[in-house]
Chain A
Amino acid sequence: MTIITKEGKFKEFIKRREPIIEDWKHSLYLWKSTKLAMIGSVIIGILLFVVIFAPLIAPYDPFLNNMAERLQAPNWSHFFGTDQFGRDIFSRVIYGSRIEIWIIFLVSLISGGAGTLLGVISGYFGGIVDEIIMRTTDMFLAFPSLVLAMAFAAALGPSLTNTIIAISIVGWTVFARLARAEAMKVKKQPYIEAIRSVGAGNIRIMFFHVLPMCLSPILVQLTLRMGTIILTAAGLGFLGLGVRPPLPEWGSMVSDGRSYLVGQWWISTFPGIAIALVVLGFNFLGDGIRDIMDPRLRR
């Protein structure tokens, strides 16, 4: 007979979870070997650093007009030059990162949260509830998403809050469909039957036993969508239907520089590079995650 010690228990614990740990190790190995995912993580890391330390990095006030120094080409005191009001573009790009991250965070939270909730309800209850929710997603998916976001943003009036609302209204459908598919799989598992037989009600089962099982594909999908969220927000800003100046949203900054493009290329160029770089980071990361999740490539 073996004596059950603390150490023994730990070993037992590890042993039972060996397949999971192996799986994680393998994922970590794949993440390290997919260079794109690595590069993506580094870019996002830098972005988060910039967001947190924006006031320390930015040399100027992003809102400060300085007509004496307007339309300067990039130089040592203004790395990215200045715009038509003499504002320092480098500082505006740095502070702009906070707006982009804020939009990503709230849109992910709202559309991811609402979509997951509706999807789980739809998949768990089935029947008429499912039919209504799924036909509603069909209706939203019938629009190209930017066009629908534009229409909502314009009807609500252009502002930061309304940009977030508009993108969220358009984005929830993807998560609803995903969560529904997961919930339908999970609810057929025998353990759900077991929980029901000890007397748990629908709400309890749904929130504590079905919902948590649906989260990991949702989180992956959220990462994949973050690049799209920025592009949509920037597109709205560019068209004048999103975040309004003087807020340094990157898309509206590109739009600001449009009429100065020929002589003063830097006004539009640098915010555009910032958008491309950040979206590239999220897409690299997403592409890497997709490779890691793809069973065909796991061999």
Chain B
Amino acid sequence: MNLKLGMYILKRLSLMALVMFGVSIIVFFIAHVIPADPVGALLGGNAPPALVDQMKHQLGLDKPLWEQFEIYMVGLLHGNFGTSLKSNRPVIQDISEYFPATLELAIFSIIFSIILGVILGIISAVHRNSWADHFSRIFSILGVSMPVFWTGLILLLIFYYLLGWLPGAGQLSLFTIPPKRITGMVIFDALFTGDWAAFWDGLRHIVLPSIVLGYAATASIGRITRASMLDVLRQDFIRTAKAKGLSKRIVIYRHALRNALIPVITVIGLTFGGLLEGAVLTETIFGWPGLGRYIVNALLVLDYPAIMGGTFFIALAYSLANLAVDLTYAALDPRMRI
């Protein structure tokens, strides 16, 4: 750690604070300024006007806009997102319950997409312009092209309904007793408590959603691995390694791949945002109790405190992931080490 890096981190953090302030304005704008009618959605279209007014008063929606904004900002700074109209619980409590499931899904998806993407990228680069290259490129582009909600449905149809190899919706089967809640991520909790039945059941449940979500992220990882490998393979030290008489396998995996993986790390960080996005659709298909599904359900019934809390939280998670990538990159950058 040194002064230059410290200054950079400080600068990035203050910028992020500014951005999050902007995010909260956008979120407020969506929920309060755009003409949707949450009270109407809550009470139904035929509610008597007196009841509507009473409800508005109760929710504080009859106050002037700037006053509502003030209440919202003060709450936000105290970590209070308000109370969900649907679940009648504090939104922050809902989020802390739903978010671990999304995180768990994202972790498994990213592992899947890294493995698949790096393998496809290496094959492409090593056999450049051969049929293997074409095949792996087409295969990975296919991943970003297929809508995740559709891929999810088709895989469920095949592997759950027709073949019966894998379980359907949810994190656990109906009769599996959930492990004690530690992190909120079922598979990890089962692992920590040594509950092997729940661990195995959880793993079987996460296979399909993480394949669906991870496959969509494969293309960018595969693409960057290919480009980066091609770059490295052209360099002198690879020729030297080959000239020394090392086998092709050692040259590729020991010498080239190690150097080629550095830019891949950045893309993996950026992929995280795509995963949060895909999670919304994947969770809906697989009945996964995550934040994405929470937000969708809130949007469908115009549960505005939940919408505001959920979208704000997702933006926060996304920004933190990007910040982490930038900081890792800065820490690895030799120009920062003066």
Bound-state CA distance A144–B274 (Å) is 7
Q: Are A144 and B318 CB-contacts (below 8 A) given A36-B138, A254-B149?
A: yes
Q: What mask results when residues 237 to 258 of chain A are scored 1 for a CB within 8 Å of chain B, else 0?
A: 0111100000000010011001
- A151 vs B311: C-alpha distance when bound (angstroms): 8
- Contacts A152-B30, A154-B299, A265-B157 given: A144-B145 contact, CB under 8 Å? no
**A102 on the B face (CB < 8 A):** no
Complex: A117 Cα to B143 Cα, angstroms:
33
Residues on B with C-beta less than 8 A from A156 are 34-36
The stretch among B20-28, B174-182, B237-245, B256-264 that forms the contact with chain A is: B20-28
Smallest CB-CB separation from B15: which chain A residue? Answer: A138
Interface check B295, CB cutoff 8 A: yes
At the interface, is chain A mostly helix, strand, loop or mixed? helix
B150 to chain A: which residues have CB within 8 Å? Answer: 254, 268, 272, 275-276
Is the Cβ of A147 less than 8 Å from the Cβ of B280? yes
B60 close to A (CB within 8 Å)? no
Q: Is the CB of B277 within 8 A of A155?
A: no
B100 CB–A CB distance under 8 Å: no
A147 contacts across to B, CB distance below 8 A: 276-277, 280, 295, 311, 314-315
- In the complex, how many residues of chain A place their beta carbon closer than 8 angstroms to a beta carbon of chain B? 47
Let me know if A143 is at the binding interface, CB within 8 A: yes
Question: Which residues on the B side are within 8 Å of A154 (C-beta)?
Answer: 36, 299-300, 302, 307
B69 to chain A, nearest CB (A): 16
Q: How far is the CA of A276 from the CA of B299 in the complex (A)?
A: 26
Q: Determine whether A128 belongs to the interface, using a CB cutoff of 8 Å to chain B.
A: no
Residues of A within 8 A of B276 (CB): 144, 147
Known interface pairs A143-B318, A275-B147, A276-B150; A151-B134 also in contact (CB < 8 Å)? no
> From residue A16, how far is it (CB to closest CB) to chain B in Å?
35
CA distance A195 to B134 in the complex (A): 49
Which of B149, B161, B274 has its CB near the most chain A CB atoms (within 10 A)?
B149
Q: Which of A135, A239, A262, A284 contacts B296 (CB 8 A)?
A: A239
Closest 8 CB pairs of A and B: A139-B22, A272-B150, A154-B299, A155-B34, A280-B145, A144-B277, A279-B145, A146-B277
24 contacts between A and B (CB under 8 A): A36-B138, A36-B141, A138-B19, A139-B25, A142-B315, A144-B276, A144-B314, A146-B277, A147-B314, A152-B34, A154-B36, A154-B299, A154-B302, A155-B30, A235-B149, A239-B284, A239-B300, A254-B149, A261-B157, A262-B157, A268-B153, A275-B147, A276-B146, A279-B147
Name 17 extra pairs, CB < 8 A, besides A152-B34, A157-B36.
A136-B22, A138-B19, A140-B26, A142-B19, A142-B22, A142-B315, A143-B311, A143-B314, A146-B281, A235-B148, A235-B281, A240-B300, A241-B296, A269-B154, A275-B150, A287-B141, A296-B227
**Residues of A that sit less than 8 Å from B by CB:** 35-36, 135-136, 138-140, 142-148, 150-152, 154-157, 227, 231, 234-235, 238-241, 251, 254-255, 258, 261-262, 265, 268-269, 272, 275-276, 279-280, 283-284, 287, 296
